[in-house]
Structure 1
């Protein structure tokens, strides 16, 4: 379906401007085209040649506006919302300006270098009545909703006791020399910002966004010569009266992993692809309840059940669809922006900040 056909089929689709031509923008531009209530209206880069190249390589419609600056996208009155995959150091400047020009904001993670910067962005969005959401795609997959339903069943799962998550991948020498995620002037948080964002958000999701009382970084993170983190981990505790704990590990140096394990007093949930499902149209997780050892501990009384969840659209398209639905509610019905998404992002940033502070303090516990 081309841009004009979609616009005719859907009343008032959200018109996206994409600011920046990062690699992830290829995936999200496809998602905007797949979502039933959005279209790509404009592309902006630091040069018009780069923006045109992006449009051509990604098969975008010839009617998409091509701009040689970010400002031109924000100044276009026909752009309703912007997707912003810029380096993290540029987020405050351009995200605040986007909000001030009344553009709804889909911002790549990590949202900021520290929570004080994110506060500026969120305050600008709130004062200008625009929707904010970060680009954590897995949160919008129907599997995520199904997992929460099962974790919330006290008979099946019981009381939450432990959460562990990982987000790792092994990169080439070219990545370590040239990628923005290892450059202190572009994405100074390194793996802590890039891959641990998913881990921290997953942990908070599992505990219904209850912030931990204490965050402690694991000793000896791996850093490059510029001090950018390439691998690290941390543990979270919720207090003496709340015995649940959580741990995560993130890395640019290990084989691909996207593990999430949640353990309760009566059940457990496991999956190995929580950030990016193995396939687009279906995803699964393992769940067991009431598992025990057999006589003489020679085996188990049951195997985990694999729960399969279908998805009509890829999770990134579902993210765009949900974002566009919120934008349309604001535009058409006078609704206020949904505060759920900025709150989730802010809590994730708060915990990420605490991990960094613990590292800086020599791996001492940091209270939230």
Structure 2
């Protein structure tokens, strides 16, 4: 491996790979894309579009390529575990799309296998690398809005083409909590630096699809705060969060996915009880920053800021959300403890 650049391979021609991650790898200052694999016959067209030199018709063949240092996995949720395990056994570092698996047990197996094979594993919550969220944390620490009491997070969009969308297939790990509620959970934990101790989730039944199209959740946090989130495939697009304090509030209207037409512009709105409002603009390309962070960890042989312990805890909470949904009652959450080993 080059001392300065990590050589990436991509497993799949998925939309997210083409629209965001492959361009991010190409823009990163410490990464390059050298291979792509897919049984999709259009894989050669995708490779030509992005000038990717090596094209494979199977994922296994890409994993056997000694010129690939790290892989990005944007496959359906139900396939994440299989290909993370196989990539780890081939010695590849792994950036895997969210949710990393479908259960805490699976996630623990994946982390253990990556540690055994001395490869880095990170779940692709790209939003956390945008600098606007650190600004929010700094404002909270300054006590400008007083003592924070409540956080609300929302992620929704209208899923238009429903005929063959994998997000609506329960066999592929579909559902709004798995797909977008996971962002709300992650941001609540990250911004508040606190963990839910119990959760209650409600989702209206949908006779057409066998997954949660819309879900609403309440958390009790270990620092005494409350948090609420909603996620939906059935509402107008919203990707935001708000923290309400004793003397004001902070809101982030574009919290999770900043499209190119915003040119990486994040907005933070601080409002006070007396009507005073101020707006801060913060810039950054979250996908590129994610690739650069992960690639630097590979180069230096260190764990990412988003650690295995953190990944496992997020999945434990997703699991508790689905358990609450199934049982129709509050579910207690026990924290997971694992060792984050340095390579």
* TM-score in terms of structure 2 length: 0.91
> Once the two structures are superposed, what CA deviation does each residue of 1:345-365 show, in whole Å capped at 9, x if it has no partner?
22211111111000110x200
Say yes or no: does 1:310 pair with 2:312.
no
User: Are the aligned partners of 1:280 and 1:315 in contact in 2 as well (CA < 8 Å)?
Assistant: no
Q: Distance in 1 between matches of 2:322 and 2:206?
A: 13
Q: Distance in 2 between matches of 1:338 and 1:140?
A: 11
Kindly name which structure, 1 or 2, has the bigger radius of gyration based on alpha carbons.
1
Say yes or no: does 1:55 pair with 2:47.
yes
Say yes or no: does 1:28 pair with 2:21.
yes
> Once the two structures are superposed, what CA deviation does each residue of 1:267-301 show, in whole Å capped at 9, x if it has no partner?
3110211012361232211013xx33xxxxxxxx3
Unpaired runs of 5+ in structure 1? 1-6, 293-300, 331-335
* TM-score in terms of structure 1 length: 0.85
Q: Distance in 1 between matches of 2:17 and 2:32?
A: 14
Match of 2:164 among 165, 171, 178: 178
Report the RMSD for the aligned CA atoms in angstroms.
1.8
SS at match of 2:55: strand
SS at match of 2:303: coil
Q: Distance in 2 between matches of 1:74 and 1:223?
A: 40
Match of 2:57 among 62, 68, 75: 68
Say yes or no: does 1:107 pair with 2:83.
no
1:38 maps to which residue?
Answer: 31
Q: Distance in 1 between matches of 2:75 and 2:244?
A: 36
Alignment of 1:215-230 (within 5 A): 215-218=199-202, 220-223=203-206, 225-230=208-213
Q: Distance in 1 between matches of 2:153 and 2:200?
A: 15
Alignment of 1:112-127 (within 5 A): 112-127=101-116
> Once the 2 structures are TM-superposed, how far is the Cα of residue 310 of structure 1 from its aligned partner?
2.5
Q: Distance in 1 between matches of 2:169 and 2:221?
A: 34
SS at match of 1:102: coil
> Once the 2 structures are TM-superposed, how far is the Cα of residue 86 of structure 1 from its aligned partner?
0.4
1:333 maps to which residue?
Answer: none
Alignment of 1:164-243 (within 5 A): 164-172=152-160, 175-188=161-174, 190-208=175-193, 210-218=194-202, 220-223=203-206, 225-238=208-221, 242-243=223-224
Q: Distance in 1 between matches of 2:90 and 2:76?
A: 20
Counting matched residue pairs gives 330
Q: Distance in 1 between matches of 2:65 and 2:98?
A: 25
User: Are the aligned partners of 2:122 and 2:304 in contact in 1 as well (CA < 8 Å)?
Assistant: no
> Once the 2 structures are TM-superposed, how far is the Cα of residue 222 of structure 1 from its aligned partner?
4.0
SS at match of 1:259: strand
